[in-house]
Amino acid sequence: MNASRPSNSSLRSGAMRGLVSALLLIGSVQAAADDEPSWAALRQGGKVVLLRHAHVEIREGIGHLAPGHCDEEVNLSQRGEKQARQIGKAFRAHGVPVGEVLTSPYCRCIDTGRIAFGSATPVPYLRPPGTVSEAQAEVDQAGLMKAILTHHAPTNLVMITHDLNIAGVVLEDTVRMGEFFVVEPKGDHLDIVGSIVIGED
């Protein structure tokens, strides 16, 4: 009895899957190499981590409510909780010394901190700028900058907040959920060491 031969379409499909897998592996290896300078800097301590909260399901009209009522806020999705765990695991795996963990008063940020690092201290100046007046938003951003520039410790300061707050510091158009920037205070200014995304947004 003759063994059946795979069709040309099956061969092409298998080859394509293999190519895609190879490209994904190459991309993953390259991303890890690109991230290493940031991890190396964090291992030295004395840096500030500006982390956008982990993944949430965006719902129109929700999210600019007063904090403190988690059932009325946009909260971490299951995907976001997993992402937060991955963030904490990555920090531990890379031997990063974490000191204080400051967060926005919103539950998605507090929960990201608690899940990833085991602690979270809410501070008002990390709230979203769209939830306060323009004048207050400027005061909050000044508070954020002061906290960064005055950080002098052997450990790293983690600040978990929202995309616009981070974008205003690092001058990026977009900040993905679960992405963090590593910055180094330099007296009256800061240096941006790099950025890393753990998990997917």
Coil/strand/helix, residue 106 = coil
**Ordered per-residue pLDDT tens for the chain, 201 residues:** 555 566 666 556 565 555 444 343 433 344 455 899 999 999 999 999 999 999 998 765 555 566 667 888 889 999 999 999 999 999 999 999 999 999 999 999 999 999 999 999 999 999 999 889 999 999 999 999 999 999 999 999 999 999 999 999 999 999 999 999 999 999 999 999 999 999 865
Tokens of 169: 């510091």
Tokens coding 117: 């690092």
Closest CA to 159 of 181, 140, 175, 137: 181
- Reading the block at residue 149, the tokens are 């520039």
> Where do the domains of the chain lie, and which CATH numbers do they carry?
35-197 (3.40.50.1240)
Pair type for strands 156-161 and 189-197: unpaired
Q: Write the CB contacts of 87 (distance below 8 Å, at least 6 apart in sequence).
A: 51, 54, 112, 116, 178, 180, 198, 199
Give the separation between CA 110 and CA 32, rounded to whole angstroms: 27
Burial class (CB in 10 A: 0-12, 13-18, 19+), 197: middle
Q: If we measure between CA atoms, which residue out of 170, 172, 169, 177 comes closest to residue 74?
A: 177
CA distance 91 to 130: 30
Per-residue model confidence (pLDDT) at position 27: 38
Phi, psi of 181 (to 5 degrees): -110, 140
Task: State the distance between the two ends of the chain, measured CA to CA, in whole angstroms.
Answer: 52
Give yes or no for a contact between 83 and 177, defined as CB atoms under 8 angstroms apart: yes
Rounded to whole angstroms, how far apart are CA atoms 139 and 144? 9
